[in-house]
Amino acid sequence: MLERLGFPRVGTHRRFVSAIVADTIGSGLFLPVTILYFLKVTDLTLVQIGAALSLSALATLPAAFVVGSLVDRLGGRRMMLIGNVVQGVGMLAYLWAEAFWSVALFTVLLNLGRQAFWGSFGNVVTAITRPGERETWFGFLQALRNLGYAVGGILAGIALQIDTEAAFKVVVIANTASFVLAYVLLLDVPDHRVARADETPIEGWGVVLRDRAYLRFVLAQLALVIGIMVLNFALPVYAAKTLGLPGWLVGAIFTLNTVMIGLGQGLTVRWMTGRVRARMMALNQGLFVASYAVFVLAGWLPVWLAVAAMLLGAAIYTGGELVGGPVFSATAAEAAPDHLRGRYLGLVQLMWAIGGTIAPVAFTFLLGHGTNTIWWALGLVALGGAAYSLTLPRVLPTAGEKVAAG
């Protein structure tokens, strides 16, 4: 069945894949109720909770550099294990979070664990796969992550329906259990550390930060990150508040996105096979621009036509995700030297952390300054990203290679 959808044979990597599924179901269970949980179990206001979460995100931004160094020294699998432990401890501590500083401190712990886990993810995927099948594997795992988040989100809906403090605490315990399960599953995953001929120290961050070609790629990646953030931070507010469309539409958009990625990611990679990576990066941004145009159109239509337009725009937007995600991930991994891949991918992880920090503030500001202001701004970013991506093969040969589906 998986092969028909363009996904790889799991084979000996079954436990690694299962660990990713366990982690994402648990995270998908808690993420939708994060703010609601603290509103339920603490006396903090919405503004105080938001400030605590933002402060913790800012405090952990530099951790990407530390994680990258540790991945190169200790190996990706070991850092994923450490990440699971730290996430589990941080999540369990939420049961005792009552004041502003305890929420911020425990969230810092959780964010550090998340950075260690996902900052190692690309290294492990690269180690267990061969050149020529990286887009397929990154796409497959991205699809599983989406489906895992969706399953977790459905289960979170049960807690929201019950709406008691006990129900929310069960969600925390269940998420903690998912980290424990992922840890156990990862114990049998091979280490795959890069062997070195001697014990001389490997190069540090200076080598990475002087790699101008890779820095240019990371800047192109930031355009992808900004686009990806639209689904969580811009679309719900735009659909429900700005346009005043039915509340169920937000859930329908997320469901459409999840189903399309879950069923279409492998087929998209198969379609991209033989096409130049940089052109697919540009196509990713082009599809984002097209979706933004449809969202603008929705604001000029009657309610039910606007609903249809928003769903169409969401489908086009998801097409951009399907095209961009695997190509950027595979290029990022293969353009990095083996012995420094942890640091190189740590730089990519930093872009995701920066995007996650600035997107809520920037998007809400733009949404508050006119119906279409945000789409004009995002459209310019995407068009610039598309043009910029096409220049990458001149300096980064990996971006000029063709997509392969081994």
Residue type, 322: L
End-to-end CA distance of the chain: 17
By the 8 A CB rule, do 93 and 56 touch?
Answer: no
pLDDT tens track for 156-180? 778 877 878 888 899 899 999 999 9
Residues 312-337: tens digit of each pLDDT: 999 999 999 999 999 999 899 889 88
Most confidently predicted of 139-143, 145-149, 396-400: 396-400
Q: pTM surpassing 0.85?
A: no
Q: How many CB atoms lie within 10 A of CB 242?
A: 18
| Per-residue DSSP letter, 239 | I
At residue 91, the pLDDT reads 93
Cα–Cα distance measured from residue 242 to residue 205, given in angstroms and rounded to the nearest whole number? 44
H helix runs in 60-164, sequence order: 63-74, 76-93, 100-128, 134-162
Q: Which two tokens stand for residue 125?
A: 């995927």
30 — pLDDT class (breaks 50, 70, 90): confident
> Of the candidates 149, 145, 400, 126, which has an alpha carbon nearest to the alpha carbon of residue 254?
149
Report the pLDDT value the prediction gives residue 197, as an integer from 0 to 100: 47
Determine the Cα–Cα distance for residues 31 and 242; give it in Å rounded to an integer: 24
Which one has a higher pLDDT value, 287 or 367?
Answer: 287
- Quick one: 27 exposed, middle or buried, by C-beta within 10 A (0-12, 13-18, 19+)? buried
Q: What is the pLDDT of residues 92-135, one digit of tens each?
A: 999 999 899 999 999 999 989 988 988 888 888 888 777 777 78
pLDDT band at 38 (very low <50, low <70, confident <90, very high): confident
